[in-house]
Amino acid sequence: MFSDLELMEIQAEVLFQYDISGRMEQINDPLKMNAPLFFLGRTKDGNVTKFHSALSNTKIDEIKKVIAKDSTNVKLSKLITIFKSSTQPIRNLWIGPAYVFPDNFNRPSSAIRMTKENRHLLLEGFPTIFEQLEWRQPCFGIIEDGFVVSVCCSARRSSSAAEASVETMEKYRGRGYGVQTAIAWANALQEEGIIPLYSTSWDNFSSQTIAGKLKLYSYGVDFHIS
């Protein structure tokens, strides 16, 4: 059983790739997109902070001072002000809850596994996942009208954990398909001995609804500045 702080550390390892000094460099997927400038994972046990390799030591020291001043109630507005004063403009802010599936989840699901043999069923609604299927495994879908209408697969993955990505075509939402695919995905990972994680933003209400129906445990809150 992992503590909340340990789970946040595990999630940070899943999300990003790091240089030899432990600074973030890239998103942890084959597209190799640039990592955010700053990551803060807040839990009841403490905070996990990660910094991009492009940030100066001076800027990192400023951020650390804000966090150290009140580590249990970090003023996000002060962190944003630090970055606003930088020559590198803020392009994106992300904040939202981070969840983990309960141990021994093992709930029944009607979703089927997507493989090389049936991947063509993804083309109608999920052409990107069709192209990326190999590194998105495990991947599970609900088939209706002859094609996949809802899917859950791995957004990013490490040797110890994976982060869920759930999508449902708009016409087929509200039928519980996202929950079914997420159940099958989590079951498959736990059979491999991999921790299934699930995070979302505060403004993604449908994703939070899925987390609630799955009865996931929230171990903290993520905050990214890009």
Q: Report the CATH fold assignment for 112-217.
A: Aminopeptidase (3.40.630)
Q: Which of 98, 97, 116, 100 is nearest to 186 (CA)?
A: 100
The pLDDT value recorded for residue 76 is 75
For the entire predicted model, the pTM comes to 0.92
Which of 45-69 are b and which e, b meaning 16 or more Cβ less than 10 Å from the residue's Cβ? Answer: eebbbbbbeebeeebbebbeebbee
The pLDDT value recorded for residue 196 is 98
The pLDDT value recorded for residue 30 is 85
The pLDDT value recorded for residue 34 is 92
CA distance 220 to 3: 11
Query: pLDDT under 50 in the chain at which residues?
Result: none
The pLDDT value recorded for residue 68 is 79
Instruction: Sort 164 into a burial class: Cβ within 10 Å, 0-12 / 13-18 / 19+.
Output: buried
User: How confident is the model over 1-39, as pLDDT tens digits?
Assistant: 899 999 999 999 999 999 999 999 999 988 888 999 999
The pLDDT value recorded for residue 167 is 96
* Residue limits of CATH 3.40.630.30 in the chain: 112-217
Q: Which of 131, 38, 27, 21 is nearest to 79 (CA)?
A: 38
